[in-house]
Amino acid sequence: MADLEFRVLGPVELLSGGQPVPMGASTAVTLLAGLLLSADDVVSADRLGEIVWARRQPARPRAALHSAISRLRRLLGPDVLESLPGGYRLNARAARFDLSLSDQLADTAAAARARGALDEAADALQEALGLWRGRPLGNVDSPVLADEAARLAEKHLALQEERAELFLRTGRHALLVEVLPALVRAEPFRERLVGQLMLALSRSGRQVEALAAYESLDSALREGLGIGPSAWLRDLHLRILRPESVPESVLGPGPGLGPVPGPGPELGPVPGRRPALEAQTQSARRHADCAALTTWRGLRPPSQRLIDRGEQIDGLARAVLDQRVVTLVGAAGVGKTAVALNAASRVAPGFPDGVTVVELGYLPPMEPRRPATDEGYARIVAAVCAALEVRGPGQPAAALKETQSLLVLDNAEHVAADCGRFVDQITRSCPGIRILTTSRRPLGLGGEAVVELPPLEPASAARLLRLRASGHLPRLDLSTDPEAVAELCRAVEGLPLAVELAAARLRTMSLRTLLRRVGWQRGLLVAPNGAGLPHQRGLDSTLEWSYDLLTRPAQRLLGALAAFDGPFTLEEAERAVACTPPTWQEVAGLLGGLVDHSLVQTQRHGERYSYRLLTPVRRFVLGRTARCGAGVLTELWQGNGSAA
């Protein structure tokens, strides 16, 4: 079975081609978990029998195990699950294994930190934490694996502590003050977490809350264990009490708030100071509960690290924490979904009831300028209910009303009015809900925070092209022709989708050949495997999707604006359609609609505004206009001249 994926950092799952594989009885799930936790090692039949049945052994355990192994092998393939002298071995290297990936990313973070690349280390840890989906082994009922589940829960917590440490060092305090309180509530005796929260609050100008966090820990320790906080934490408390010790900048620790003594980085536990065994057991259980609360439903962030999007991800994460309704807008192919999912992953610990991602791209599009309808609204509700796995009248509002969760509505541009109606009603009836929408145009709601995602900068696009090309062809060295790399990235305007598709195309043609053809050959930049939404499988198809969502007058104006090979002003846009004189109000309204649809970019220079079409958009529109016939511009303003 191709494209296998193993998951244990949450409910144990087997995926093939990105889709869950039904495993039937819980025996198969427990058996797979036991093999995965000893991946690439031989596990004896006796050990597997203990894992699967514990003290409830069947009458013929060897025969029952052989039958279970045979059923699992049919799902995995003979090369993945081997029978060897002494037992069985699962070849986890034949698949994507979330635990191995998390460990690799943690090692990457440690190496980056050692050489002083703290932002890179923080991003690697953020990517690692994005692989965790809830309580480890959450659907496995095996007393034998309980210790393994607790060990994984502790590893998860350690990763979150290390991420918090790096966020402190890189000035990301605003995010920490939102996500750390939930962890501290679940781990009230975890001094390192409390210290990190105190420091984040102090650097955010919230000294009173920082001191309150210390007092809560002090009371809990004295009442629960009969001891007080560690010396380093008491010292941090005193530093926050002194006004001169409060940091002046959010970019790093101020005077007196540097590294504190302790074995861990800055805020580690003190050697020889371990709580009682009972407290440790309670801590592990609390952490497992906390992990379960941060459930993730729906599409996960991409496994590949985003290139040079850290600033945009941070900004979007802050917007989600500050505003109840946030819409991420941008041109077709700019990477809105990936950035939104990464931002959602970053703030997920701050939402005890989890994150739910709803894919709206499969819903049928609305007619341009059609208001919201009951039918369209019902489709939105049905999609959200399916993602939440809820049914019945009043859903999903009833399911979300008492929760603190984040709802991500992905690809909403073709159902913007219906989506806006849904968002408005949910936010009115569910006070703990925050909604992040990705769309090529805003929803048009009052109080909606609109965040615009730009294309990649030239250097970042070139880096992405080289990285993805090396993934397709490890021996391909694009550094020998930097001019062609830069020119190709300019030709696609730094749109990540186009850069990724161009990198894949280098499997079948040279860089210079691709560069010569990319400006005129249709169908060149398409996904080789046909994966994803139909309108996102190629650059032409994703632009055609945006174009078809426009009204006829807006399409015609866009065709006229494609004549500009560079920036233009509103007055120049009005003159471009002077063949049949419209009023200036009509052009201004239509142009505003094209900007809202992310088909025209706005450039602001003080009081002076200009506009431009991205090169791929302009090429597409010119080709579309040519295919429609030369007379399309002369009839530009015939018929309805309503705004887009």
In tens, the pLDDT along 144-174 reads: 898 899 999 999 999 999 999 999 988 888 8
Q: What is the mean pLDDT of residues 474-493?
A: 87
Q: What does the pLDDT read at residue 357?
A: 95
* 295 against 435, higher pLDDT: 435
Number of H helices, E strands in the chain: 25, 15
Torsion (CA) 532, 533, 538, 541 in degrees, nearest 10: 170
Please check whether residue 51 is in contact with residue 144, taking contact to mean a CB–CB distance below 8 angstroms.
yes
> Is 392 a residue whose pLDDT tops 80?
no
Phi, psi of 328 (to 5 degrees): -95, 115
Q: What is the mean pLDDT of residues 450-479?
A: 88
What is the rounded average pLDDT for all residues in the chain? 81
Helices 191-203, 231-241: crossing angle, 10 deg rounding: 10
* 349 against 355, higher pLDDT: 355
> Is 405 a residue whose pLDDT tops 60?
yes
3-state helix, strand, coil in the chain (%, to 5): 55, 10, 35
| Two structure tokens written together for 521 | 């050959």
* 18 against 164, higher pLDDT: 164
DSSP 392: S
In percent, the amount of the chain with pLDDT more than 90 equals 28
* 451 against 283, higher pLDDT: 451
Q: What does the pLDDT read at residue 585?
A: 65
Q: What does the pLDDT read at residue 84?
A: 86
Low-confidence winner among 171-180, 237-246, 273-282, 378-387 (lowest mean pLDDT)? 273-282
> Is 274 a residue whose pLDDT tops 70?
no
> Is 244 a residue whose pLDDT tops 60?
no
Q: What is the mean pLDDT of residues 554-565?
A: 88
SS (H, E, C) 215-274: HHHHHHHHHHCCCCCCHHHHHHHHHHHCHHHCCCCCCCCCCCCCCCCCCCCCCCCCCCCC
pLDDT bin (cut points 50, 70, 90) of residue 546 is: confident
> Is 488 a residue whose pLDDT tops 70?
yes
Q: What does the pLDDT read at residue 580?
A: 52
580-636 pLDDT tens trace: 545 556 888 899 899 989 899 999 888 889 999 998 899 889 888 766 544 444 444
> Is 372 a residue whose pLDDT tops 80?
no
User: Of 544, 592, 550, 307, whose CA–CA distance to 416 is shortest?
Assistant: 550
Euclidean distance between CA atoms 579 and 556, whole angstroms:
13
Residues forming a β-bridge with 437:
327, 409
Find out whether the peptide bond into 247 is cis, omega within 30 degrees of 0. Answer: no
183-201 pLDDT tens trace: 998 888 888 999 999 999 9
Euclidean distance between CA atoms 152 and 327, whole angstroms:
35
Query: DSSP assignment of 325-389, as one string?
Result: EEEEE--TTS-HHHHHHHHHHHHGGG-TT-EEEEE-TTSPPPPTTPPP-HHHHHHHHHHHHHHHT
Kindly list the distances between the CA atom of residue 133 and the CA atoms of 146, 154, 277, in Å, as whole numbers in the listed order: 18, 15, 27
- Sequence-distant (6+) residues with CB within 8 A of 344 are 301, 320, 355, 357, 406, 408, 436
| Two structure tokens written together for 17 | 């081609």
Euclidean distance between CA atoms 586 and 376, whole angstroms:
29
- Sequence-distant (6+) residues with CB within 8 A of 559 are 621, 624, 625, 628, 632, 633, 636
- Sequence-distant (6+) residues with CB within 8 A of 41 are 89
